[in-house]
Amino acid sequence: MPSLQVDLGQRSYPIHIGAGLLSAPALWQPLRARALRLVTDEHVARHHLDVVRAQLDLDASSIRVLPPGETQKSWEQAGKLLDWLLQTRLARDGCLIALGGGVIGDLVGFCAAIYQRGVDFVQVPTTLLSQVDSSVGGKTGINHPLGKNMIGAFHQPILVLADTDTLKTLPRRELIAGLAEVIKYGMLGDTGFLDWIEAHLNELLALDPAATAEAIRRSCAMKAAIVGRDERESLTGGSERALLNLGHTFAHAIETHAGYGDWLHGEAVGAGLCMAADLSARLGWIGAADARRCIALIERSGLPTRPPADMTPQDFMRNMALDKKVAAGRLRLVLLRALGRAVVTADFDPARLAETLEHFCSAAHHSCPTSHG
């Protein structure tokens, strides 16, 4: 069982990766003596709730099953969860368990951050995207109609338990969406990993156990190292953690425009990575061949390479103006100075950004990414 550590002093925690972890008693043992509340969604509950419930001996009053989908990351749902925690009298020494994908992890983590000014929580990610990215690092939050993840808090889990067997029940569209975050890591900081992804893409699409575990391990190792050096994505003096948002400024604009749920987060990231690579090439920072290489890999994965057909450059600019990386009124983007070397910068030619937006919006040929998965 590969294990990694996120080194944050007293807030450090392990990431366990492997098959069959949900039914591994030793991993659950430290939690059994605590007051627990578990939150999951209907799809995940159908496949995985019983085994976790048995491991922790949870009764029905300690479990909350939500409808699936990005729309659950809302003030309304957060309020309902907080009501439930108060009604069931969870004390401050209790612990929340997020069993599900990024939506459940973000929502439960946010509630854990603000309930009684902070209680412990455990991430049990069940999608590829959440196993390689969102479950690690302590970013929690909910969406607002004006922007993706605009309300949230940094709140680290005490444990991440990534059981690769849960991916066997994942819809293919969700699996493909998770590959966007894997590809992101290779593009932003490790061309050797990018080479590896290209060579093993068919195995990843087939959920080969060894290739899948390796992709998760390498992605988590890169994120854990970055988070250990820059936990809260500092806006001053440069932010290494912000590099993890490669493609995400474009992606969040897509999700805000499309309405949360029509596009999966990873699908929007796929298109956003293409746009970031294209702009980096237009600026002369990477070669056109490098940009084409990235876009080709995203396309091979089955991810969208274009935004929604009805999205205009003006839609992008309006939504990107609310991005969390905006500082002193200036839009900052994560772009590629070289393949494998990302930077956060406001020093780009606005005319080149306009060209990228015009190119991708005018060439858009689909309105929903379902055909890609």
Determine which one of 37, 248, 325, 372 is catalytic. Answer: 248
Q: Is 240 a catalytic residue?
A: no
Binding residue ranges for Zn(2+):
181, 248, 265
* Catalytic pick among 37, 241, 325, 332: 241
- 241 in active site: yes
CA distance 163 to 116: 30
Tell me how far apart the alpha carbons of residues 129 and 267 are, in angstroms, rounded to a whole number: 11
- Which segments are annotated as binding site? 102-106, 126-127, 139, 148, 166-169, 181, 248, 265
Rg of the chain over CA atoms, in angstroms? 20
Q: Which of 43, 73, 217, 223 is catalytic?
A: 223
Q: Has 143 been annotated as catalytic?
A: no
Determine which one of 174, 181, 231, 267 is catalytic: 181
Q: How far apart are CA 203 and CA 185, in angstroms?
A: 18
Q: Does the annotation count 233 as an active-site position?
A: yes
To the query of whether residue 48 is one of the catalytic residues in this protein, the response is no
Quick one: which H or E segment has residue 66? strand 63-66
Task: Kindly report the backbone phi and psi dihedral angles of residue 365, in degrees, each rounded to the nearest multiple of 5, phi listed first.
Answer: -135, 10
Query: Scanning the structure block, which residue is given the tokens 């205009």?
Result: 312
Instruction: Name the active-site residue from 245, 255, 267, 332.
Output: 245
Q: Which whole-number Å values give the CA distances from 173 to 170, 256, 369, 370, 372, in the listed order?
A: 8, 20, 9, 7, 8
For the question of residue 337 being annotated catalytic, the response is no
Q: Which of 73, 184, 265, 324 is catalytic?
A: 265
Q: How many CB atoms lie within 10 A of CB 242?
A: 22
Buried b (16+ CB within 10 A) or exposed e, 96-109: bbbbbbbbbbbbbb
Q: Which of 48, 139, 217, 372 is catalytic?
A: 139
Sign of CA dihedral 367, 369, 372, 373: negative
Residue 150 makes CB contacts below 8 A (sequence gap 6+) with 141, 143, 144, 322, 324
Annotated catalytic residue within 53, 252, 282, 306 = 252
Instruction: Identify whether 319 is a catalytic site residue.
Output: no
Catalytic site includes residue 365: no
Q: Which listed residue (70, 174, 231, 233) is catalytic?
A: 233
Annotated binding-site residue numbers for NAD(+): 102-106, 126-127, 139, 148, 166-169
The structure tokens 């709140």 sit at 155
Query: Is residue 149 annotated as part of the catalytic site, yes or no?
Result: no
Active site annotation includes 42: no
Residue type, 257: H
Cβ contacts of residue 293 below 8 Å, gap of 6+? 339
Q: Which residues are catalytic?
A: 117, 139, 181, 223, 233, 241, 245, 248, 252, 265
